[in-house]
Structure formats: C-alpha cells, structure tokens
Amino acid sequence: MKTPLKTAARVLVTLIIVAAAIIAARYLWLHYMEKPWTRDGRVRATILNVAPDVSGLVTAIAIKDNQPVRVGDLLFTIDTERYKLALAQARLAIETAQANIKTAQDGVKTAQDAVKTAQDNVKTAQDNLDYQQHELDRHRRLRETNANTQEDLDRAQNAVTVATNALASAQNAVTAAQNGVTAAQNAVTAAENARRQALAALATAELNVARAEVRSPVNGIVTNLQLEVGDYAAAGKPMLAIVNTDTLYVAGYFEETKMRYIRVGAPATVELMGYKQPLRGRVESIAPAITDRDNVQNADLVANVNPTFSWVRLPQRIPVRITLDKIPEDLQLTAGMTATIIIEEPKSKNTSSN
C-alpha cells in the first residue's frame, strides 16, 4: 500500500525531472538557435596562380608537389637562349650607337670649323669689295678730268661686280656651313636617341633573362603540380598554384539570427574536425553583403522580384572571417578543412563597468 510520503516523493522527483528537462531544453534551444556558433566553417587561404613573365620551353623544375617554398625560392626555369641573343644584340647596338655618337660629334666640330672658315672668307670678300668699290670711285673721278680712259673705268666696274659676287658666294657658304652644323647636331641627337633605345633594349633583355627563372612570390606550399620539363610556358598563363600559408584563416557562415552577437575583434574558438586541440582566433571582419536570390538583375536593369514566397523562411548565412592567433607547428592546415566556430558574446555595459 502506497503511503502519502512515497507518493509525495515520487511527485517531487517527477517535478524535478520535468524542471530539469525544461531547463535543458531551454539551454539547448538558446545554444543552437541564438548563441554565436556554427559548424559551417572552412579553413581558407589565398591560392596564387604562378604565371611566367616570359615565354619559352620549361628546361628545369626545382620543386615537387606539396613542397613548402619561401619567398624567392626557384620554382622552374624557362629556356633563355633566345633572350641571351637579344641581350647580345642590345649590347652590340649600344656599342654601335656609341661609335655613331663619336662620329656625329666629330662631324659637328668639322662643320663648326667650316663655318669659321666661311666667315673668314666673307670678311676677305667684304674687304676686297670695299677696295674695288674705292677703286671704282677713284676711276670715276679721274674720268671726269679725262685722267684715265673709259676702258680703265670699265675694268674697275667689272672688278666691283666680281667682288660683289664673291661676297655673295662667301655668305652662301656660311649659310651652308651653318646648315651643316645643324645637320651634324641632329645626327648627334639621333645617335644619342639610338643609344637610349639600345640601353632600354638591354635592360629589357636583362630583365627577360632574369625572369626566365620563375621564383615564388609568397611563402606557401605548392599544390597539384602538373608541370613537366618540355612544357611550353606562355607569358601570363598560370603554370602552377601555391597556397599562401601566410593568409590562412577560417571563414564561418553564421545564421543572420546570430549576427547581433558577433562583433569585430571578438575572441573565437575554432574546432577542426579530427583534431581535439581547439585553436584560438578573433573576428577580423564581417561580410557586408550576400546575394539576394529573390531579386536578380535582368538585362533591362530593373528589379526582377521572385513572385513566389516560401512560408518556411530559412535564415541567411553571413560570412565572418576569423584570424587565427597561433597555429601549432605540428598542425597541418589544409584549405577546405571543416571547422566549428564558437564566438564569445560581447560583455554588457553593466558587466564591463563593474
């Protein structure tokens, strides 16, 4: 026969179990529906597609698949014979241009000497013209007194005409000599321009030879290496990929109902699938936008709103970037790993002020 005490005890135990179940259900509801955590996390990193700056056959490969590399490490080498020929041609062009500059400068000096000689000839011709003009004037005065003959006067007039023509020829020679100086100076300018072009060609050829050795621009790990000796590498075409290990981070995709608990700089715990030791990090940034699948832009640039509406509305997921504080040396992070992310809630103002 049941006593009232046993009945009361059973009722009390039942109430306690029900209360515990309600509290547990409430905790689980808050934990799964509102707390800032997600199992939809991925390890991510920047993947660099390495492309050569010059074209040619691959002659040597210095790395293997999944090999760690540092900045400046040699990855592969492209045939340099064609670029070395261009280098030799550029050096020869510089020597030729330098010799042309010397020749043109000598031509300027010769032309300047010719100008000086022509100017001296003009002075001589001018002096002769002055003398012949003086003689013509003298013969004219003598002719007025019949002290000389008409023949003497005509000879004096002819001498003035010859001297005048000689002066004009000397002046034309000066102009021609000055034009020769200008032409010689233009030849110097052209030779100097050719030398500058040859220097630029030399710098380009040297750069091409240097760029034939393709080196790693980042610290990382070579992945999915398919490159073989003998492959033709085209400038600008990616030949291999490197995972930049300096950019490893975790991307968490949080439901929009939990975003009010997430702040930039908040501490975060990252639990990788298959690893017991959690990682620590911080919220680096929050994505400012995601795709609106119910409003797709069309060709008319007007709103294209989906006319259907689902009564069950799933919360959107917002990308949140988590920067890891420290990665253990024995942990091999691979981009694409699955992670669970737990973000600590920001403290309230009252709590922080105490």
Tokens of 289: 């936008």
- Residue recorded with tokens 């030799």: 88
Domains of the chain, earliest start first: 37-47+244-353 (2.40.30.170), 49-80+213-238 (2.40.50.100), 81-211 (1.10.287.620)
pLDDT (tens digit per residue) in 145-185: 777 777 877 787 888 788 888 878 878 877 888 888 888 88
| Phi, psi (degrees; rounded to nearest 5) at 96 | -65, -45
Mean pLDDT of 205-217: 94
pLDDT (tens digit per residue) in 176-195: 888 888 888 888 888 889 88
pLDDT (tens digit per residue) in 252-270: 999 888 888 899 999 999 9
Q: Answer whether residue 27 shows pLDDT above 70.
A: no
pLDDT (tens digit per residue) in 268-280: 999 998 888 899 9
- Cα separation, 45 vs 327, in Å, equals 14
Q: Answer whether residue 2 shows pLDDT above 60.
A: no
Mean pLDDT of 215-239: 95
With cut-offs at 50, 70 and 90, classify the pLDDT of residue 346.
low
With cut-offs at 50, 70 and 90, classify the pLDDT of residue 353.
very low
- The pLDDT of residue 351: 42
Mean pLDDT of 290-303: 74
- The pLDDT of residue 142: 78
Mean pLDDT of 8-35: 70
- The pLDDT of residue 352: 40
- The pLDDT of residue 284: 94
- The pLDDT of residue 36: 85
Q: Answer whether residue 113 shows pLDDT above 90.
A: no
Q: Answer whether residue 20 shows pLDDT above 50.
A: yes
- Cα separation, 314 vs 252, in Å, equals 17
The answer to whether the CB of 227 falls within 8 A of the CB of 76 is yes
**pTM, two decimal places:** 0.67
- The pLDDT of residue 350: 46
Q: Answer whether residue 55 shows pLDDT above 90.
A: yes
- How is the beta sheet containing 56-61 ordered, strand by strand? 213-215, 74-78, 56-61, 232-233
Label residues 177-201 b or e (16+ Cβ within 10 Å = b). bbebbeebbebbeebbebbeebeeb
Q: Answer whether residue 348 shows pLDDT above 60.
A: no
Q: What mean pLDDT value characterizes the chain? A: 85
Beta-sheet pairing, 240-244 with 68-69: unpaired
pLDDT (tens digit per residue) in 115-139: 888 888 888 888 888 888 887 788 7
